[in-house]
């Protein structure tokens, strides 16, 4: 089955992101997440859908993230979702929880839909297979789109910190295995970033190259992990605690 992953850049840890059809609307940046117990649609997407009779039902449903932060749903709505690979297609009514929060994704399809589709997900192949009338369909991910979403998410976090930084490159590359011409440069993903700001990494682990600052957003996290030191501001201290739970310190380096 490895030949089904030949089109991907390896090694990778990219999320499975692609497109679906909701009624007559093509929705891109759809995250397939088998760790999610709910199907999520974000309000900015729902408000742009042109579906007659699509009414949001108010619902006070709490959603909890990785750091146990709680988000209240704006409501729920059931919509027809079609997954089509050009040959095979399936359509199911999907109940979405609509959330009024900014996100780099448009929709998150969780376990309720994956189970209803009897789908099998492979993040290594960036693909999801599902049974259809004529055989087996394949939902194919978009690796370039997945990396672009990740970059946008990281930069959104960076803009919120006291000493903002800008992520200029993210690579997971073993140059002894991947020819240089096959390595996706960040300028291919975001042409707004000048070529000279991008430097390829030759290390095995994932690298995040940021603009240089005297102090960085990582400093308070490192101080908390090494010395349990927190700022006096309670709101800032709570934020650092929540953020620190997503990182680990190894040999003086911060890893996500």
Nearest to 117 by CA among 39, 25, 7: 39
Tens of pLDDT, residues 75-115: 999 999 999 998 999 999 999 999 998 899 999 999 999 99
In this structure, of 93-102, 147-156, 170-179, the range with the lowest mean pLDDT score is: 170-179
Judge contact between 13 and 141, C-beta under 8 A.
Answer: no
Find the helix or strand (DSSP H, E) in which 210 lies.
strand 207-210
- Is pLDDT of 204 > 60? no
| Residue 251, phi then psi, degrees to nearest 5 | 50, 40
- Is pLDDT of 223 > 90? no
Three-class SS of 59-89: CCCEEECCCCCEEECCEEEEEEEEEECCCCE
The residue among 245 and 6 whose pLDDT is bigger is: 6
Confidence of residue 163 (pLDDT cuts 50, 70, 90): low
Provide the 8-state DSSP code for 224: H
Please give the class, per CATH, of domain 17-140. mainly beta
- Is pLDDT of 36 > 80? yes
- Is pLDDT of 242 > 80? no
| Residue 222, phi then psi, degrees to nearest 5 | -65, -45
Q: CA 156 from chain center: how many Å?
A: 12
Q: What's the mean per-residue pLDDT of the chain?
A: 78
> Would you state the pLDDT for residue 30?
97
Confidence of residue 219 (pLDDT cuts 50, 70, 90): confident
Judge contact between 210 and 254, C-beta under 8 A.
Answer: no
> Would you state the pLDDT for residue 227?
84
Confidence of residue 169 (pLDDT cuts 50, 70, 90): low
Tens of pLDDT, residues 107-141: 999 999 999 999 999 999 999 999 999 899 999 99
> Residue 102 and residue 87: Cα distance in Å, rounded?
34
- Is pLDDT of 212 > 90? no
> Would you state the pLDDT for residue 160?
61
Nearest to 126 by CA among 209, 31, 218, 25: 31
Say how many C-beta atoms besides its own lie within 10 A of residue 235's C-beta.
8
Burial class (CB within 10 angstroms; exposed 0-12, middle 13-18, buried 19+) of 92? middle
Beta bridge partners of 127: 122, 140
Q: Where are the domains of the chain?
A: 17-140, 144-255
| Average confidence (pLDDT) over 165-175 | 49
> Would you state the pLDDT for residue 70?
79
> Residue 119 and residue 33: Cα distance in Å, rounded?
12
Question: Percent of the chain beyond pLDDT 90?
Answer: 42
| Average confidence (pLDDT) over 236-255 | 73
Burial class (CB within 10 angstroms; exposed 0-12, middle 13-18, buried 19+) of 195? exposed
| Average confidence (pLDDT) over 188-210 | 42
Burial class (CB within 10 angstroms; exposed 0-12, middle 13-18, buried 19+) of 83? buried
The residue among 61 and 42 whose pLDDT is bigger is: 42
> Would you state the pLDDT for residue 136?
95
> Would you state the pLDDT for residue 192?
40
């Amino acid at each position: 089955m490895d030949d089904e992953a030949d089109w991907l850049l390896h090694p990778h840890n990219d999320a499975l992101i692609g497109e679906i059809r909701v009624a007559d609307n093509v929705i891109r940046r759809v995250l397939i997440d088998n760790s999610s117990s709910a199907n999520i649609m974000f309000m900015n997407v729902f408000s742009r859908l042109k579906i007659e009779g699509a009414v949001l039902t108010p619902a006070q449903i709490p959603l909890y993230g990785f750091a146990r932060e709680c988000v209240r749903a704006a409501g729920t709505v059931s919509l027809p979702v079609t997954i089509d690979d050009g040959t095979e297609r399936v359509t199911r009514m999907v109940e979405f929880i609509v959330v009024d929060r900014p996100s780099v994704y448009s929709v998150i399809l969780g376990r309720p839909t994956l189970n209803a589709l009897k789908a099998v997900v492979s993040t290594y192949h960036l693909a999801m297979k599902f049974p259809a009338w004529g055989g087996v369909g394949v939902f194919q991910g978009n690796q370039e789109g997945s990396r672009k979403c990740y970059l946008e998410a990281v930069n959104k976090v960076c803009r919120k910190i006291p000493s903002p930084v800008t992520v200029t490159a993210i690579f997971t590359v073993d140059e002894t295995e991947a020819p240089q011409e096959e390595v996706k440069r960040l300028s291919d993903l975001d042409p707004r970033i000048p070529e000279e700001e991008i430097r390829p990494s030759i290390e095995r682990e994932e690298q995040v190259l940021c603009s240089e600052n005297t102090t960085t957003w990582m400093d308070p996290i490192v101080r908390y992990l090494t010395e349990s030191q927190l700022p006096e501001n309670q709101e800032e201290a709570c934020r650092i605690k929540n953020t620190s739970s997503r990182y680990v310190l190894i040999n003086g380096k911060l890893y996500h």
